[in-house]
A and B are shown apart, each in its own frame.
Chain A
Amino acid sequence: MIDHPDKILEWTLQHVQIILLANALAIVFGVSIGVWISGKGREHIADTVIYLASVLMTVPSLAMFGLLMGLLYSMNLPSVGLLPVVIALTLYGLLPIIRNTYTAIREVDPAMIEAGLGMGMSGFQLLTKIKLPLAVPVIMAGLRQAMVMNIGIAAIGSYIGAGGLGQPIFRGLSNYRKDLVLVGAILVSVLAVIVDFLMAGVERWTTPKGVRLGRNR
């Protein structure tokens, strides 16, 4: 691997690409679903959705890839490579994002809701002007959790041809190349730490200033 430093860069970039793609999808779907199930009178649906999302999380990644491959194959879609891995990671990322969105919105101080409604905000205005801004830091915490977790799972995605930092690990394993395994493993871990650090920044940065000031008191 020392002979191919360009390869390492390529795998890392592939890995990052998979993560960004999957978590972008996860946040779009996760927040939409989370907002929807937090609506009035949807408590039962919410329970079911969150339960299903946690069931998804318990499916082992290899089994998930296998299931998706079968599904995609039957739909005449590419059953190996980027697509099944991105779909799998999106599904894995849903739970923390849905759960955090749901909880954060449900836990907005009822006084805020009453004040907003009482002053004539529509349901949509209440959501976009009050609930979501207050929920964003918690949603971001969910995204952070999803991303860090997915960095590990994405490595397994190399098994079905998605590339990424799983490549050196699996190659090393099959060729008795400890150095390759080590490099892959270290890079995956470093990537996770970096992403975690960056997302902590994003979490802070998306916390509304007034809320941040309140916490420091």
Chain B
Amino acid sequence: MIRLEQVCKVFADGTEAVKDLSLEIAEGEFCVFLGPSGCGKTTSLKMINRLIPLTSGTIYIQGEDTRTRNVNQLRRDIGYAIQNIGLFPHLTVRQNIATVPRLLGWPKTRQKQRAMELLEVVGMDAATYVDRYPSELSGGQQQRVGVARCLGADPPILLMDEPFGAIDPITRSKLQDEFLKIQEHLKKTIAFVTHDINEAIKMGDTIALMKSGELVQYAPPATLLSEPKTRFVRDFVGADRVLKGLRLLRARDVMIDPELTLPLNMGVSAARQALAASSEQWALALDTEGRFRGWIEAEDLVDAPETLDDALTPAVATAGPSTPINEVLSLMLASTTGSVPVLDDHDRLLGLVSFDTIRDVLAPPTDRGAL
């Protein structure tokens, strides 16, 4: 747990980089420091491991004032990944990853074992890369090694200063996904700096939005998007904040029970009656195992096909429970019925997402005028 209490930083030239910053990052929480350049986010991060000394205020880690500890010991207990990756070019991948373990005096074999382990964690083939040099790796691979290095001695806290900054957008997005997966298992307490609102929304449990040294809003991404505290926050998150919010929602969060499902072995006339009785034009067809097989359209039953199977329209678009809503929305545009069924790994129907369900969740009817 990290707690900043009334932290101020005034540089020698008089610049007030951070003004009276107080916030708390809970154990296992992913906190993103977000803001335009010069807002004090990186300064705040570097004050946590004392790379930049505080002018006033106090920073506590696990309840302990960071200034009471030996600075090198303190830093060895905190994983640190920097903007320019900063891999040591004269050291191998193994030596780079084992930087902190070596400082802590781990035996050689354990250092190597740890390096191999971490390479696998960040999705690189350990045997292939462990003895390579940074200059032999691609930018994305270097970035991965940088992440592995900050996990070196398994510190409970990670400080990351735009760790995915220096790579192309596709690799970055992939690394973000992978890092989130890693974090799901590791549950580190993370302070992460970025100027990219999309990265912040995607990665953070909470976002600390800063502007000229001040904390403007400290909230979970969804709150930041739906209830921007000031005009600055509203501008910073962008006019498309509602669309950005779509990424935060998963199909499972908005899906509803479908109005009408029909078992495929049902008689055609019974199906026709069921459809007529409901107000729907479509029904979802399920097999005996509850697996979704396709759509049944009322029109297709008019010509009296022999079985429901003959009237079946196979679904082109289906989602999983954890598909982000922005993707579901794209699928919806491809779907013949304008709705997307949500299926589990065995194709069993979990629920249905339609445009109305998304709209109701994102912007309750009372809010709509404001958008």
Contacts and interface: CB of A to CB of B under 8 A. Distances in A.
Q: Do A and B bind each other?
A: yes
Contacts of A119: 75-76, 80, 99-100, 103, 149, 152
A114 B90 contact: no
Given A121-B72, A125-B103, A214-B135, 16 more contacts: A109-B86, A111-B82, A111-B84, A115-B82, A119-B75, A119-B99, A120-B71, A120-B74, A120-B77, A120-B100, A120-B103, A134-B89, A134-B90, A208-B91, A210-B133, A210-B135
A130 interface: yes
A111 B161 CA distance: 12
A32 B77 CA distance: 32
Q: Give the interface residue-count category, chain B.
A: 20 to 34
Interface residues of A, number: 23
Contacts of A116: 88, 99
Given A117-B51, A119-B100, A211 B82 contact: no
Given A119-B100, A119-B103, A210 B75 contact: no
A112 B91 CA distance: 12
A208 B84 CA distance: 21
16 contacts: A114-B82, A115-B82, A117-B75, A118-B159, A119-B103, A119-B152, A120-B74, A120-B103, A121-B99, A134-B90, A210-B89, A210-B92, A211-B89, A211-B135, A213-B133, A213-B136
Nearest to A214: B135
Contact of A214 (B72, B75, B89): B89
A72 to B, nearest CB: 43
Contacts of A121: 72, 99, 103
Interface in A122-137: 122, 125, 130, 133-134
A179 B136 CA distance: 55
Interface in A163-217: 208-211, 213-214, 217
Given A112-B88, A134-B90, A118 B134 contact: no
B149 to A, nearest CB: 8
Q: For chain A, what secondary structure do more than half of its interface residues adopt (helix, strand, loop), or is it mixed?
A: helix
B44 interface: no
B73 interface: yes
B70 to A, nearest CB: 9
A23 to B, nearest CB: 25
Given A117-B51, A122-B72, A211 B90 contact: yes
Given A111-B86, A208-B89, A118 B136 contact: no
Contacts of B51: 114, 117-118
B82 A214 contact: no
Nearest to B93: A210
B103 A214 contact: no
B49 interface: yes
B103 A210 contact: no
A10 to B, nearest CB: 42
Interface in A28-87: none
Contacts of B75: 117-120
Contacts of B100: 119-120
A130 B88 contact: yes
B85 interface: yes
Contacts of A118: 49, 51, 75, 80, 82, 159
